[in-house]
Structures are given as structure tokens and as C-alpha cells.
Structure 1
Amino acid sequence: MSLLLLGLYGLPLTIGIYWGAKMLYQRLPKVYLSPLLITPLLIVVLLTQAGGSYEAYHEGAQWISKLLQPATIAFAVPLYKNFQTLKKHAAEIIVSVLTGSMFAIISSALLAKWLHLSSDLATSLIPRSITTPIAMDVSAVIGGVPNMTAVFVILTGILGAMIGPSIMRIFHIKGDIARGVLFGTSAHGTGTSKAFEFNSLSGTISSISMIVAALFTLGVAPLMVSFLQ
């Protein structure tokens, strides 16, 4: 496949595959059929089989990445609609999210040391538990590889969405607030999508939890780099 064709069709190819994967997920709502998992896997297979390069594909599909940051602003809508509930439970949400975020950062650092990862991979792993656009920015600041961080973020989100329901059953988590904090803190955007499948309030709490976790990690992640060195 020529570089020109990859550049021209990268964006519609990605949108088409995602749309098809989403339709499949709506019929069979299994986490392993999530569009966030199916779409990149199919694109990798297509690029590999067609002999194309990621750089050429990215030329056409880069607008999707650029739209991630402004898309995050859309979370303000459910936050506004559920403001009174958020205000009432603000203390519990903040304490829970900060605790979960700290555990995520520390566990990432310990995992990197245990696996003897290189410095680049270790720092790329640190912000794995926050939403992709912010995680990539944090990764760039602390000396990681943003593209690798995006991979870690997606894997973390999918894993969190997969085991989240089991965690809720084991620990008898039934409240919308607790459910939202669980998914938003541990599985960011993917978890938030899963939380919205339960109800709007769970999704909203997950949204704010994801944002708080991202802001906290943004401040703490640079401090953890020294621990890895």
C-alpha cells in the first residue's frame, strides 16, 4: 500500500473500523469485543499485511489524536447535570480517587522495577491509569515515550473494564458513587464508558474521578521518576 493511499485513507479507515466494532459491541457487549481493543488490532493487522508504515497511516489519522483533548471537555455536561450529587459526596470521591491514584502510581513504579524495564519504558508506564491525552502529555514531561504510554493506558482501561464487574460482585459494591469511582480511577475513559452502561450517575462520577486522577498524577508523576532512577 502506497504512502499516499495510507495518508489519504488513514482517517476514514479508522472511523470505519471503529464504527463496525461499535455495532458489534452493541449486539454482543463483551469487553474483549470493545472497539478500543478491536480497532487498533485490526489496523495493525491491515498495516502489517499491506506492508504500510505507522508514520504514513498517522499522517491521515492524526486528527483523531488531536481531537482527544477537546473531546475531554464534553465531560463537563454530565458534571453540570449532577452537580448537587457531586457536591454532596465530594469528600468521599476525592479521598477515594487520590488513594486509588497513589496506589496506581506506586504499583506502576514497583512493576517497572520488578520487570527491570528500561528507563524510557518505566517512565512511560507511570501515567498508565489516567486518560490518554493527559497521560501522553505527562509521559512527554517525565521523559517517557507518549506512544508507548498510550498503549499502556489502553491495556489498563480494557483490563479494568473486564475485571471491574467481578470486583463489584466480590466486594458487594452496589452504590452508583462507589461504582463510578471504581471505574473512573482504575480504568479512565474505558471504565467511564462501562460505568455509563449502568446509569448516568455512575458514568458522571466516573468522569469526575478520571479527571481528578489525571490532575493528581500530573503533579505526582514527576516525583516518581527519581524513584525509578
Structure 2
Amino acid sequence: MDSIISTPLFGIALSLLAFDIGCIVYKKAKLPIFNPIIVSTSIIILFLLKFDISIEDYNKGADFISFLLGPATIVLAVPLYKQLHLLKANSVAIISGITVGCITSIVSVAALSNIMGLDSIIGLSVVPKAITTPIGIELSKQIGGIPALTVVTIILVGNIGYAIAPFVCRLFGIKDKVAVGVSIGTSSHALGTTRAMELGEVEGAMSGLSIGLAGIFTVLLVPIVLKLINFI
């Protein structure tokens, strides 16, 4: 048994099996809170704790799946290409919306960190919460955060966005498909984008675009915004 656990095959098999179970649960429950990411993550954590398996052993295989995050994000360019005319027609509004969303995300983290009296390293770890994981990890390292905490935060934000994004859009009367997609992609990255794709092709395409631009804008804006508000 130990020899199997110590091989990359274990982490890959456990991840795929847990996600498959998560998909089945989601189809049965039909509730956002039971989306495959939440369910599969919970299953993996409980399994590792139950059988006292180290995260290092699990990551020998899981890291292969993590590596695919980059290519998977790039694939989102396909639906965007199909909606290229909408991008051209709304380019100013889209770029402005993403920029404002990124600044709001950064400032809100800094403000809440100060209000709650959190250690600055925790605040810095949470700053990349709204961008995709590969970019968020590197940004966290650059600004002195804790990458592991950043990953947890990104996952939580993505799942929250997946669960409540459509409700929030309805609550504030956001009906334009482009606006819905941009808001979801900017605030809750790839997990939110999966929800946007369920809403429609336009929403999914705009959300996919927002993932990449929000990541780039956040990397560029974080040092400037945090210095302006004296957070670093």
C-alpha cells in the first residue's frame, strides 16, 4: 500500500475519482453549494486525514493536474473568439470594468485587514484572491504572502462566486450578458467562469476574457495600489 501511495499515480487517481464523485453529487443535488470542486476537495481532505497520508505524497501526482491549470485557462480563448465582435464593440467598458474590479478587490482586502487587525502577511496572502491560481501563487510570492494561504483563499472565493454570482447579478439588476460575464470572471476567476458558461455562451466568453486580463491588471496594480494606501 505504501508503495502505491508514494507514486504519482495515487494523487492523480484520487483527484480524478473524487472529482467524478463530486460531479455525480452535483447532478443529484442541483445546488451550487455542492459543486464538484467543493465536494471533491472535501473528499480528498477527509481521505488524507483518515488514512494519515501526507500532502507531499498526494502532491506527487496532484502536481501533474495543477500543471494543467495553465493550458485549461488558455482553452477559454475558444468561446471568446466566437464572441470577438462583442469584445470589439464593448472594449472600453470591458477594460474599465475589469480595472475597477481589480482595484476594488485589492483595496477591500487591505481595508478589511486593517479593520480586523490582521497581520500584514495574511493580508498580502489574500490580496490575489480574485485571480486564477497560477498567477495568484506567483504574485503572492512576489509581495511576501504565503502561497498556500493564497491558494485556499482563491478556492474559497471561486466557490463563493460560483454559488452566488447569478443571484448577486439579479439583486443589482445586472442583465447585460457582457456585464454579467465580466463581473463574474473578474471577481471569481475560473470557478466563476464555469458558472458563467452555464448561464450562456456570451457570459462564458466574457468571463474567460476577464480571467486573463484581471490577472495581468492585478499583477501590475498591486504594488502601486498597496503603496498608495500605505499597506506595504
**Fold-level match, TM-score > 0.5?**
yes
1:61-140 equivalence runs, <5 A: 61-140=62-141
- Contact kept? 2:189, 2:211, Cα under 8 Å: yes
Quote the Cα distance in structure 2 between the aligned partners of 1:27 and 1:204.
27
Deviation at residue 20 of structure 1 after TM alignment: 1.7
Letter paired with 1:52: I
Deviation at 1:21, TM superposition (A): 0.6
TM-superposed CA distance for 1:162, in Å, is: 2.1
Q: Secondary structure at the match of 1:126?
A: helix
1:125-177, Cα deviation, whole Å (9 max, x unpaired): 01101111111111111121222111100111111222222212222222211
Change (3 A) 1:134 1:25: same
Question: 2:22 & 2:176 partners in 1: Cα distance?
Answer: 30
The residue that corresponds to 1:2 in the other structure is 2
Q: Could you tell me how far 1:117 is from its partner in structure 2? A: 2.6
Which residue type is aligned with residue 123 of structure 2? A
Partner of 2:15: 14
1:52 alignment partner, SS class: coil
Number of residue equivalences: 229
Question: 2 CA distance for matches of 1:137 and 1:3?
Answer: 33
Give 1:118's aligned amino acid: D
How far 1:189 moved relative to its partner? 0.8
Unaligned 5+ residue runs, structure 2? none
What do the CA deviations read for 1:2-27 (whole angstroms, capped 9, x no partner)?
37515441111101111221232233
Q: Say whether the 8 Å CA contact 2:79–2:205 is kept in structure 1.
A: yes
Alignment of structure 1 residues 177-188 onto 2, 5 Å = 177-188=178-189
Report the CA distance between 1:110 and its aligned residue.
1.5
Asked if the contact 2:103/2:225 (under 8 Å) is kept, the reply is no
Whether the 8 Å contact between 1:6 and 1:60 is mirrored in structure 2 is no
Alpha-carbon distance in 2 for matches of 1:96, 1:3: 51
| Conservation of the 8 A alpha-carbon contact between 1:4 and 1:56 | no
Q: Deviations for 1:23-79, whole angstroms, at most 9, x for unmatched residues?
A: 322333311111121111111111111011111111121101111112221112112
The CA RMSD measured in Å over matched residues stands at 1.7
User: Which region of structure 1 is more displaced relative to structure 2, 86-95 or 118-127?
Assistant: 118-127
Name 1:228's counterpart in structure 2.
231
Which AA in structure 1 matches 2:15?
A: T
Q: Any residues of structure 2 matched to 1:149-164 within 5 Å, and which?
A: 149-164=150-165
What CA distance in whole angstroms lies between the structure 1 residues aligned with 2:30 and 2:137?
A: 28
CA distance in 1, matches of 2:224, 2:65: 31
1:216 aligns with 2:199: no
Deviations 1:81-118 (A, max 9, x none): 11111111111111111111110011111222233333
SS of 1:128 mapped into structure 2: helix
Matches of 1:42 and 1:100 in 2, distance apart? 33
Q: Which amino acid aligns with 1:97?
A: I
Structure 1 spans left out of the alignment, 5+ residues? none
Tell me the secondary structure at the aligned position of residue 10 of structure 1: helix
3-state DSSP of counterpart to 2:75? helix
Contact 2:77 2:205 (8 Å CA) reproduced: no
The TM-score normalised by the length of structure 1 is 0.93
The question of 1:31 aligning with 2:32 is answered: yes
Aligned equivalents of 1:223, 1:153: Cα separation in 2: 21
Greater shift in the superposed pair: 159-168 or 196-205:
159-168
**1:41 maps to what in 2?**
42
Hey, what's the Cα distance between the residues in 2 that align with 1:114 and 1:35? 34
Question: Match for 1:2: what amino acid?
Answer: D
Structure-1 separation of matches of 2:75 and 2:103: 26
The percentage of aligned residue pairs carrying the same residue is: 35
